[in-house]
Structure 1
């Protein structure tokens, strides 16, 4: 079997590796238009912030290592520009030389990722503006900071990446302003949690400009629609990801309402010989089954595994997306899983919530912190529908436990009965997750 993979970052590299594990005799070729394969996108902000001092540490594989260890051919600087579904051919362009050639496939896996959304503003060409999506983007930003030594930055967009950038740039001694058009940072969060995030950012010296957008830019001067003026030596755009679906769309594959390539529960597109995974793939939401696209690393890796198992003839089916995620915000963390209040109201699902505030572990133990945990559950069945948390250490543990509870179909009352590990450095005899269950009674 001859398999071509388009894209060599999280989804594509993992798919190739997983396929080699289950199909040792397959001929596997990977093409990627970038300069670097298999790098950790999520680690890039921390390279910029100096937390990760050696940028090469976020690269987990090279074309040479893939060839040597897995017998997989990887070609970087090579872009697949056309798919001929009838002939089962792809046209590949060497972006360095401009020369093109064709390659054939039995199965084709699309993992083209997404591109950073880059809105345009009047006078934008007068400013130094960056996006962070590729390894090359990261290197460009690192060089700019090293050479120009900027003292201020405007981050446009207060989502997960925008908030992480605000922290790491601030830790580099750069004055940061975040411009967010919604009422709170990370607008996907419910207000009870989002307000805590805003407070943490402000307490650490990050200027927040909410419910407004850029009107125009004049060099280092950004005028906002509410009349505020922000001085910034450079601008970081962090306003979302656009799925790279041009190749799939030109080949006649169906594009869904989320803007991603439509897939079934084994990641096949509308052409059964072509699969799609990662940021550009549209799946379904866990509870409603409606189309959903989550551009996060876990989903790309899981989808890669599902493709490999299907090619092996032992299919494993994707069960839906919860969107479980977490982000570090200075000394605090913010995390979520499942549905929010707004999502539930939009779907007309009756729900109730429990909000619990406590210590992350025994209050008498020197190393403890605060936690605010919100859990949402179905008003009739009492099954857990979602959770959000903000606070110090152990936020990841609580959200992960609740994500597992959702996966297992547990009720909010079951949370009280969970036997969770306890020792004063880690928790309390009644963990915050247990307390949510007790409160719900």
Structure 2
């Protein structure tokens, strides 16, 4: 087959579809490439929408990544906005297209079809869900409606504590609104484990957001004087001027389903490593597809721009490869091997980031894992302005392969997670992390970078140089808990029943410690407890360390409301 004059039709723009179109043109100058977009904009920065609502991004034009004119004049790609694809005839290889402005329909033939139909905000069938004043946020027209509503509002209710919910909370508070955030789960930020998400919850409440966890919306009602009344699953009634639904999204796969393409259990389109669907002439990219998790191997939905862009490149490459090859079975040079789910969110100056799988997912998958906590400064402690980064690292007990990482802090958090994510993409272990050579100057990092430190703590454990106590067993253990912080630190707050023996006096007080009873050590963040561990272990005592010290203990207590 020759690629000359082949026709590639792409349904949907934004990240996946627009990237696929541009890549296809770079690979084939003679192909006819046409994009159909249901909305008014073919390529826009939907990740910036909360900040446009909050007037951080002042101009709507700044959200427009590329216009139809740019696609036409720079890439010779034809773009039809406000145009809906309503049907696929796979046998004839044609699609039915409707112009949303005129209502006129027509058919368009294809040699290759790419579905980038994205996802739709979840809007559950609750009583009153269609009342005015209840909004989703998925595109620029949505943001315009919310901005108009804010002009006459003083109170806002956000339903959902994920990325969009947290970003909207920050931006609405910035506009002077009284904000309540309602989340069905017992934590915000579902990709994180509860003790790590607690840092974000604390920052939200510190900035005036009323946080209601473990509660769902049951119904909406219009108030006679204006505004909305919201009834919750625990019988509470909340009054608000507007509601933002940030419950999540689901794949917009109706077109694919109606065409008989294979869908997965999660409702997304199933594709092979080259983004090809169950039809050899149809590909799919972006939020509409299911993807394999690189760690657990399970199918999941990951509505993120980064994977969508990569999938668009892979699909375009595969299409042109198929055009050029006589045998469809020949493998294209690019493939998509799955996702780690690397993501980041900002909330009132706090950065929350993660990669890989969390502890909850590992438990559900039955994978044998270990975890460590640490709380290093983002740069050398002696240089002014060092801020802590709270890190949780998850790894395999057998060989130290990295399963996931979560980090929270004010500075340099994304670098830590990006480095670990890069290592994970190469199949690295915690032993590799401790050996990484990273930039160091006191204003930028430390001689032992936080990433190195995470690897060192985990590697010490796997080598047998550091035995870890189980935080979950703290309330039931028969071990003696020894706090090796100073007298003043201990007096400022400690775990009940913990005995205080400062590290500096530990050698002189060895005789006070039992040799037939296990000893669990704790300090501020874990470092002094490790020093104490090495001392006691070499003196023949049975010792373990509570990873991350009192900082981790406080994070865990915060999640169960005991702080």
TM-score (norm 2): 0.76
Residue 230 (structure 1) aligned with residue 248 (structure 2): no
Choose which of 44, 50, 62 in structure 2 pairs with 1:45: 50
**Cα distance in 2 between the residues matched to 1:205 and 1:115:** 30
Gaps of 5+ in 1: none
What RMSD, in angstroms, separates the aligned Cα atoms of the two structures?
1.2
**Cα distance in 2 between the residues matched to 1:391 and 1:428:** 16
Q: Which moved more, 1:222-231 or 1:304-313?
A: 222-231
| Alignment size in residue pairs | 439
Superposition map of 1:98-177 within 5 A? 98-126=103-131, 128-146=133-151, 148=152, 150-177=153-180
Choose which of 410, 419, 434 in structure 2 pairs with 1:392: 410
Superposition map of 1:241-260 within 5 A? 241-260=249-268
**Cα distance in 2 between the residues matched to 1:223 and 1:312:** 54
Gaps of 5+ in 2: 1-5, 223-227, 322-331, 461-563
**Cα distance in 2 between the residues matched to 1:125 and 1:231:** 17
**Cα distance in 2 between the residues matched to 1:111 and 1:49:** 28
Superposition map of 1:26-425 within 5 A? 26-126=31-131, 128-146=133-151, 148=152, 150-219=153-222, 220-313=228-321, 314-425=332-443
TM-score (norm 1): 0.97
Choose which of 13, 17, 21 in structure 1 pairs with 2:22: 17
Measured after TM superposition, the shift of residue 229 of structure 1 is: 2.9
Measured after TM superposition, the shift of residue 225 of structure 1 is: 2.0
Measured after TM superposition, the shift of residue 145 of structure 1 is: 2.0
Q: Indicate the structure whose relative CO is greater, using CA pairs within 8 Å and at least 6 residues apart.
A: 1
CA 1:284 to 1:125, structure 2 compared with 1: closer, same or farther past 3 Å?
closer
Q: Which moved more, 1:208-217 or 1:246-255?
A: 208-217
Q: Secondary structure at the match of 1:367?
A: coil
Measured after TM superposition, the shift of residue 126 of structure 1 is: 4.8
**Cα distance in 2 between the residues matched to 1:303 and 1:216:** 39
**Cα distance in 1 between the residues matched to 2:434 and 2:130:** 56
- Bigger radius of gyration: 2
Measured after TM superposition, the shift of residue 231 of structure 1 is: 2.3
Describe the superposition over 1:57-98 as per-residue Cα deviations: whole angstroms up to 9, x where unpaired: 010111111101100000001100000001100000001111
Between structures 1 and 2, the one with greater strand share: 1
**Cα distance in 2 between the residues matched to 1:213 and 1:181:** 5
Measured after TM superposition, the shift of residue 228 of structure 1 is: 2.9
**Cα distance in 1 between the residues matched to 2:348 and 2:285:** 32
Measured after TM superposition, the shift of residue 423 of structure 1 is: 1.5
**Cα distance in 2 between the residues matched to 1:87 and 1:120:** 37
**Cα distance in 2 between the residues matched to 1:321 and 1:66:** 29
